[in-house]
Amino acid sequence: MKQMNGVENNMSSTNSNGKLFKHYDFPSICNSVYESAMKKLISLATDEKTKSIVSKLLYEGEYGNFSVNSNMTSPDNASHEGDRRINYASMAICAPDTFEKISKDNIILFHGTNSTILPDILKNGLQSESEIINNGKEITTGEYSFNKPRDFISFTDKPDLALSYSLQKPNASSNAKSSFSVIIGMSVNEFDKNNPDIRRWSVHSDTPEVGILKCLPSKYIKMLAVPQSKIDEVKQLTLKYNLDNIQIVPAEDFVNSVSLSHDCVGSHYVLDSSELIMEGTSSFSKFKKEDVKELATSPDRKLGNIQKLFSKLKNLFLTKVKGNNKDEQSRD
């Protein structure tokens, strides 16, 4: 059987769509923290259906045709899968409607961004930095690369990571007086070796990611998570671009689910739904490029340097973005 980071992956299944899902075995996932979180989550399930869903997710990593693993992101290990199991079990408890929508179509690849770019995404697709620049546009969402524009868009299968990306303010050059978080979801069922629209790219990162080269056409966007107060506004945008098939869910569901996940594992990182709507812009333009180079000199920027970098960035303009442990070709 396939070895994943030294741990035998002795669990696999195929759903009704013919998708093969692989998992780490339960003993490799269930440490003392996971066991404690598992007991708490099962105790919070208020009815038999929810208890059954939560138990299957925590013990098996699956529920029906849904799997917590995309089997597309890297790096991956038992710890990351354990986080995903806890994330989705929390969502099944806190936000059953959103979990049902996600699980129905295996919408488990997410990209977190800012509303300043949403109209362009719905019109032209989700474009990489290089595509945006080549088309004569400016990157205004607060995302940035250190050396050269990236040729891919990064997705993660960890809801908590996608949420943290979406909390980044846009650049000052966007002239946005206010903006809001947007989490874009796509289904793993869309990935097909014969699909010319979706070209997969390996991302060198310390957190689970997969890249899509150049552009993801908007027809492959299956879900948008935005603040509850912005759902009607975003719904009108999707109708404008004939994308009424996109499901729109409250981003608060992600906040509440991730908050419960953090609480279950004893994390002190506090999330607040009010942060989904942001006033003003970041002051990234005041952060000197030389400062970045000093902290990120190697091609593979690992945990130590990147934590220092984001600590400094946080003091300047980011208040709730967790350290993203990635190299120059990752989503920063």
Taking a C-beta distance cutoff of 8 angstroms, is the pair 186, 155 a contact?
yes
Across the chain, mean pLDDT equals 80
* Burial of 27 from C-beta contacts in 10 A (0-12 / 13-18 / 19+): exposed
Average pLDDT over every residue of 47-68: 96
Banded pLDDT at 159 (limits 50, 70, 90)? very high
The answer, yes or no, to whether residue 3 has pLDDT greater than 80, is no
Banded pLDDT at 290 (limits 50, 70, 90)? very low
Tell me the three state secondary structure of residue 63: strand
The answer, yes or no, to whether residue 8 has pLDDT greater than 70, is no
Q: Are strands 20-23 and 11-14 parallel, antiparallel or unpaired?
A: antiparallel
- pLDDT, tens only, 104-127: 999 999 999 999 999 999 999 999
**In the block, residue with structure tokens 């984001």:** 310
The answer, yes or no, to whether residue 143 has pLDDT greater than 60, is no
- Residues above pLDDT 90, as percent of the chain: 53
pLDDT of residue 325: 38
Taking a C-beta distance cutoff of 8 angstroms, is the pair 149, 137 a contact?
no
What domains appear along the chain, each with residue ranges and CATH number? 3-105 (no CATH), 109-255+273-283 (3.90.210)
Q: Are strands 66-67 and 200-201 parallel, antiparallel or unpaired?
A: unpaired
Q: What angle do CA 223, 225, 226 make, to 5 degrees?
A: 140
- pLDDT, tens only, 210-263: 999 999 999 999 999 999 999 999 999 999 999 999 999 999 999 999 999 999
Tell me the three state secondary structure of residue 74: strand
pLDDT of residue 96: 97
Banded pLDDT at 264 (limits 50, 70, 90)? very high
Q: At what angle do helices 32-44 and 251-264 cross, to 10 degrees?
A: 130
Residue type, 302: K
Which helix (H) or strand (E) segment is 183 a member of? strand 178-186
Predicted structure pTM score: 0.80
**In the block, residue with structure tokens 């598992």:** 38
Q: State phi, psi for 101 to the nearest 5 degrees.
A: -65, -40
